Structure 1
């Protein structure tokens, strides 16, 4: 494989991973976990 082919392959794989993470983060099923996590810095023990 050429170096340019590897670069293209890595770019495509990175983009697919980014889209998959974005879809996972925006699913309604995960919203309650993220709402809890967004308040963690403000919790006083």
Structure 2
């Protein structure tokens, strides 16, 4: 019984997390975060 409840809660959490990640409102923020490793401006200024 308990394992079924835990499984259901984890499934709901996974679906909610997936909906949050794939939300169109988050695209701009994730695109900016994806570009962080490619931006060398901070490394050049710190040397």
TM-score, scaled relative to structure 2:
0.77
Distance apart, 1:10 and its partner CA: 0.5
Structure 2: 5+ residue runs without aligned partners?
43-47
Kindly report the root-mean-square deviation, in angstroms, between the aligned alpha carbons of the 2 structures: 0.9
Check if 1:20 corresponds to 2:1: no
Q: Which has the larger radius of gyration?
A: 2
Aligned length: 41
Structure 1: 5+ residue runs without aligned partners?
none
TM-score, scaled relative to structure 1:
0.80
Deviation >3 Å, runs of 4+:
none
